[in-house]
Amino acid sequence: MERYDLLVIGGGAAGLAAAREGALLGARVALVEQGFLGGTCLNRGDLPKLWLRRAALFLRAVQQAGDLGITVPEVALDWPAVLRQQHQLLQRLQAEKEAELRAAGITLVRGTATFQSPTAVKVGERLLSADRIVLAVGTVPGRLEIPGDDLILDIADLYDLHDFPSSLVLVGQGPYALETAHLFRGAGAHVTLVVPGAAPLPDEDRAFGEELLRLSRARGIRVLTHAVPIGAEALDHDRVLRVRLPAGEEPLGAHVLAAERPRQVPAEPLGLAVAGVEVRDGRIPVNGFLQTTVPHIYAAGAADGPAHGTGLALYEGRLAARNALRGNTEPVDYRYVCRVLFTDPPAAAVGLSEEAARAAFHEIEATALPVSYLGRALVDQAREGLVKVIAEARTGRLLGVWLIGESADEVITAFAAALRAGWTRDELLAVVPPYPTMSAGAWAYATAPALGHALACCG
Ligand SMILES: Cc1cc2nc3c(=O)[nH]c(=O)nc-3n(C[C@H](O)[C@H](O)[C@H](O)COP(=O)(O)OP(=O)(O)OC[C@H]3O[C@@H](n4cnc5c(N)ncnc54)[C@H](O)[C@@H]3O)c2cc1C
């Protein structure tokens, strides 16, 4: 039996962060991973998607080169070459993760962990035990429960598709489906996004969601809302997805069908029941310190909640290790988690939506201005998007910021820091951002929305 202070199961973002933190705190740490280090983010989700998105954005930029007076002969997407380079990048990153673990003195155990008791797991022939355990096992995609489900790829399979799909029908509601629709549309596919509910982003600020929907349609994505998939069939080399719409049934033909499938924690073969850890609605419930129903076992990342991204998995992994090793001293705080959408243009948010702020505060100010007048937006010809700021009316304290436009994914962090500091609109004036940048414009809008673009640009 090998004994450790901290055993981390799962080597995705949450597990790597937990193991690193444990080692930094001086614990003897083992990390068990059955597949590729880096988990969903590095191998199946964020990074593969971002690499393809980069190619799609580049393609569009080259197609528009004429606007800048640059002549480009003929532009074509060499999809296999893009995938080859993506694979090279991912392999390099996986190797780097392994080297980082070794340098930190963390024992990497390759294989599938199965609980033998609440404090011990078996991995192949090895038996490992620890007084403290962090479950960072992520989630796995499930079935759609419709006939022909096996003809529908998981959304992540699209990032590794051998042949580029000339047409794609994608089922999903939420950020990843919308981002993926933008990516493939940008790369030249005909894309239909099938949204089972009323909106692609039902949990976000309404105006923000509506603007993204409008932009998606303007990009040429066919977005069908209230569209419930009821079956899939093969038709020669193509596929057909039958959907139920308010007006009746419609068959949607495409080269490829894919879906953002419901996901759940891989309770087996992990053997969570042997450890006594409860699973509810496909996730591991935790308290405010990320402790599961078994006091010495913590959970972090996608395994413990549906509303998750990699940033949050890293944050939780680190915190779970700290609380596991030092007692429950640091509660989780989700108020300043930035959300991002890698659409074209990107979008990001932090804090409350207008609807949530109205429900929580007596009086609020919500202002939304287009980015089209910002100096940088004009120069870069990136005039699509908005800056929406929500503040408490009485004090001017910032409550939420919603951005759509170039660099929104980067600019949002500055606003998150301002929210965390409890700044008011006026206090933003103490910071002078570099000009002309998108952050300078968004900052100016946020300080004085009434002046709007007059403040945002010198000319
Ligand atoms: C299509 C898609 C796109 C996404 N894009 C983004 C994005 O752009 N930005 C963003 O922030 N988030 C994105 N996400 C979400 C993000 O990838 C996840 O939130 C994040 O990876 C969760 O990390 P994790 O460590 O909790 O789980 P995972 O990364 O899934 O890691 C869990 C690991 O545990 C291992 N494991 C499971 N069971 C066992 C066992 N019994 N023994 C040993 N090992 C085991 C698995 O092999 C896996 O490597 C995306 C997700 C998807 C599906």
- What's the CATH number where 443 sits? 3.30.390.30
Instruction: Please provide the distance, in angstroms rounded to a whole number, between the alpha carbons at the two ends of the chain.
Output: 71
CA of 374 to the centre of ligand 1 (A): 37
Ligand 1 pocket member 305 (CB < 6 A): no
Q: Is residue 205 pLDDT above 60, yes or no?
A: yes
Residue 280 DSSP one-character state? B
| Domain boundary pick from 212, 229, 259 | 259
Ranges 190-199, 380-389, 392-401, 409-418: which has the least confidence: 380-389
Token reading at 322: 């700290």
Ligand 1 pocket member 315 (CB < 6 A): no
Atom of ligand 1 nearest to the CA of 316: 26
Looking at 191-345, list the stretches that DSSP marks H as alpha helix, in order from N- to C-terminal side: 206-218, 267-270, 272-275, 310-326
Say if residue 362 is in the same domain as residue 305: no
**Count of structural domains, the chain:** 3
Q: How far out from the chain centre does Cα 287 lie? A: 23
Say if residue 359 is in the same domain as residue 412: yes
Q: What is the mean pLDDT of residues 269-281?
A: 96
| Domain boundary pick from 239, 259, 279 | 259
Say if residue 251 is in the same domain as residue 276: no
Say if residue 239 is in the same domain as residue 177: yes
Q: Is residue 85 pLDDT above 70, yes or no?
A: yes
Q: Which residue has the higher pLDDT, 2 or 373?
A: 2
By alpha-carbon position, which residue is closest to atom 19 of ligand 1?
A: 309
Q: Name the pLDDT band for 456 (thresholds 50, 70, 90).
A: low
Question: Domain for residue 337, yes or no?
Answer: no
Ligand 1 pocket member 45 (CB < 6 A): yes
- Are the beta carbons of 65 and 142 closer than 8 angstroms? no
Q: Name the pLDDT band for 59 (thresholds 50, 70, 90).
A: very high
CA of 36 to the centre of ligand 1 (A): 11
Ligand 1 pocket member 271 (CB < 6 A): no
- Are the beta carbons of 294 and 275 closer than 8 angstroms? yes
Question: Domain for residue 252, yes or no?
Answer: yes
Q: Is residue 458 pLDDT above 70, yes or no?
A: no
CA of 39 to the centre of ligand 1 (A): 5
Domain interval for residue 406: 345-458
Say if residue 364 is in the same domain as residue 308: no
Say if residue 110 is in the same domain as residue 251: no
Most ligand 1 atoms within 8 A of CB, residue of 21, 46, 98, 126 to mutate: 46
Q: Is residue 353 pLDDT above 70, yes or no?
A: yes
Q: What is the mean pLDDT of residues 219-231?
A: 97
Question: Domain for residue 368, yes or no?
Answer: yes
Question: Domain for residue 162, yes or no?
Answer: yes
Say if residue 137 is in the same domain as residue 11: yes
Say if residue 250 is in the same domain as residue 349: no
Say if residue 158 is in the same domain as residue 281: no
Say if residue 14 is in the same domain as residue 136: yes
Ligand 1 pocket member 141 (CB < 6 A): no
Q: Is residue 238 pLDDT above 70, yes or no?
A: yes
**What b-and-e string marks burial along 314-324, b requiring 16 or more CB atoms within 10 Å of the CB?**
bbbbbbbbbbb
Percent of the chain at pLDDT exceeding 90: 88
- pLDDT value for 376: 85
Most ligand 1 atoms within 8 A of CB, residue of 9, 32, 37, 40 to mutate: 40
- Are the beta carbons of 188 and 82 closer than 8 angstroms? no
- pLDDT value for 459: 39
- pLDDT value for 453: 55
Measured N-to-C along each axis, helices 13-24 and 310-326 cross at an angle, to the nearest 10 degrees, of 40
Question: Domain for residue 339, yes or no?
Answer: no
Q: pTM for the full model? A: 0.95
Most ligand 1 atoms within 8 A of CB, residue of 7, 9, 41 to mutate: 41
CA of 123 to the centre of ligand 1 (A): 20
CA of 138 to the centre of ligand 1 (A): 5
- Here the CATH number for the domain that contains residue 182 is 3.50.50.60
State the residue for tokens 């390759």: 110
Amino acid at 249: E
**Residue range 140-156, pLDDT digits in tens:** 999 999 999 999 999 99
**What b-and-e string marks burial along 260-289, b requiring 16 or more CB atoms within 10 Å of the CB?**
bbebbbbbeebbbeebebebeeebbebeeb
CA of 283 to the centre of ligand 1 (A): 13
Q: What is the mean pLDDT of residues 423-441?
A: 92
Say if residue 269 is in the same domain as residue 255: no
Q: What is the mean pLDDT of residues 187-198?
A: 97
